Structure 1
Amino acid sequence: MTVLNANTRKLNALSDAELAARVARDIPDGSYVNLGIGKPTHVSAYVPEGREVIYHSENGILGIGPKPREGEEDIELIDASKRYVTAAPGAAFFEHSDSFAMMRGGHIDIAVLGAYQVAENGDLANWATLDDKFPPAVGGAMDLVVGVPRILIMMSHINRDGTPKLLKRCTYPLTGLGVVSRVYTDLAVLDVTPGGFRLVELTHGNSLADVQAVTEAKILT
């Protein structure tokens, strides 16, 4: 898969499935992990062999399994994205109040969330774009960013019009201040540090200069 930067240069971009597998590689064995709406829901399908990861959905599931096979969906078993899921052995079901108590109370180790924008200081904007065509949707993101110690962002690196999503400062309403630990995009993996975005890795075939060209904030090495 390829995307174009502002100079119409082709960049190698991971598919959603490849990006989900990349995120899953970094989730430690035994972790309790919330998966946000959108791209993050794919992560549960890619638990590395030999690991057990307990996936949580804010609508009241602890122990999400992979996506069911076509024709084997249970219409009463969905995640917060309204996506059909399976229940892993030992899964538990509960009401929203218990689910949000887990999120706010520090019982979830990691949250994988989507984002509209991330700033170099770790500020996150993922609930409103100020565009009337896309109504705001807070969901549980604000609860997650204050109650979960490690926030991982899974997102496309640029908007469809080629504008950057990794910024010096967010321009959309904020979900949380300085909450992001690491950003996984289709073009690169970046840590949020006191000095800004620090490069962890580039998607194979991309140069730092090419990725910097579609990133407003400075990428440190």
Structure 2
Amino acid sequence: MNAKEMIARRAAKELSNGEVVNLGFGIPTTVANFVPEGVEVLLESENGALVFGAAPKDGEEDPDLGNAGGLPITMIPGSACFDEATSFCIIRGGHVDTTILGALEVDQEGSIANWATPVAPGKWSPGMGGAMDLVMGAKKVIATFVHTLKGAPKILKKCSLPITGKGCVSKIITEKCVLEVTPKGLLLVELAEGVTIEELRACTEAEFLVADEVKPYQL
């Protein structure tokens, strides 16, 4: 199992029956494939889909059906497709319970940067997109990403890239750990097999507290 699948599987365990759940670009889109058995959620995509299922089998893709990242999805009983204006009415109206987003950086205050990388002085790519609405409209924001980029920490004391939302993230899930964002700072609650707290501190710029009982990483 690679790191991205590991993160998606763990993120899927955050879902609860009856929730409206938005899945962002990248790792989050694959969470649809790992919703736990017996858990029924209403998956929502910002490009205009509600109540969809996992990715189709190879050869069974419908080119007219895709998620926000352009990847094929399956429609299930109760599914609906609509325009983006309706989709953002759902998001901005506060009807999304949980959004799972990818991130370039998250800091110890729960701020997230997930849209901009520098391409020239004063110029950024690719653009904000719907994330600015999701971080404000969803009741809970979960950030999912690989813990480091070419060895550099992505969980920082302060985001260095332009932020998408300030203090909006409630939980961080990487392939190494699960951290909760609390009023006292980041709290380590789960640790992946083979990773020590000392090793985690070495690859995490942000400061974090350690729960009285750190649980094994759930898969």
TM-score w.r.t. the length of structure 2 is: 0.92
Distance in 2 separating the partners of 1:65 and 1:134: 34
Counterpart of 2:194 in structure 1 is 205
Pairing partner for 1:87 from 63, 75, 86:
75
1:153 aligns with 2:143: yes
SS of structure 2 residue aligned to 1:175: coil
Structure (1 or 2) with the greater strand fraction: 2
Moved over 3 A (4+): 131-134
State the Cα distance separating 1:197 from its structure 2 match: 1.1
Identity of paired residues, percent? 45
Q: For 1:130, what is the secondary structure of its paired residue?
A: strand
Aligned to 2:47, the other structure's residue is in SS state coil
The Cα of 1:18 is off from its aligned counterpart by 2.1
| Structure 1 portions without partners, runs of 5+ | 2-13
Answer yes or no: is 1:97 the counterpart of 2:85.
yes
Q: Which residue of 2 aligns with 1:220?
A: 209
Structure 2 unaligned segments of length 5 or more: list them.
211-219
Alignment of 1:66-215 (within 5 A): 66-132=54-120, 135-159=125-149, 161-215=150-204
Note the 1:21-40 alignment, pairs <5 A: 21-40=9-28
RMSD: 1.4
Q: CA deviation at 1:200?
A: 1.1
SS in 2 for 1:16: helix
Deviation at 1:173, TM superposition (A): 0.4
Mean Cα displacement is larger for which, 163-172 or 21-30? 21-30
**Secondary structure at the residue paired with 1:173?**
coil
Partner secondary structure for residue 99 of structure 2: strand
Deviation at 1:134, TM superposition (A): 7.3
Name the CA distance, whole Å, in 2 between partners of 1:79 and 1:117: 23
Report the residue type matching 2:200 in the other structure.
V
Q: Deviations over 1:89-130 (max 9, x none)?
A: 210111010000100110010000000000100111001022
Task: Read off the aligned partner of 1:193 and give its amino acid letter.
Answer: T
Aligned counterparts of 1:156 and 1:47: Cα–Cα separation in 2? 20
Distance 2:72 2:127 in 1: 21
Aligned residues: 208
- 2:213 corresponds to: none
Deviation at 1:149, TM superposition (A): 1.2
In structure 2, how many angstroms separate the alpha carbons of the residues matched to 1:41 and 1:189?
A: 19
Q: Equivalent residue of 1:77, what SS?
A: coil
**CA distance 1:58–1:212, change in 2 (3 Å):** same
Q: Post-superposition shift, 1:135?
A: 2.0
Aligned residue in 2 for 1:48: 36
Q: Separation in 2 of the partners of 1:90 and 1:171? A: 42
- State how far apart, in whole Å, the 2-side matches of 1:158 and 1:131 are: 21
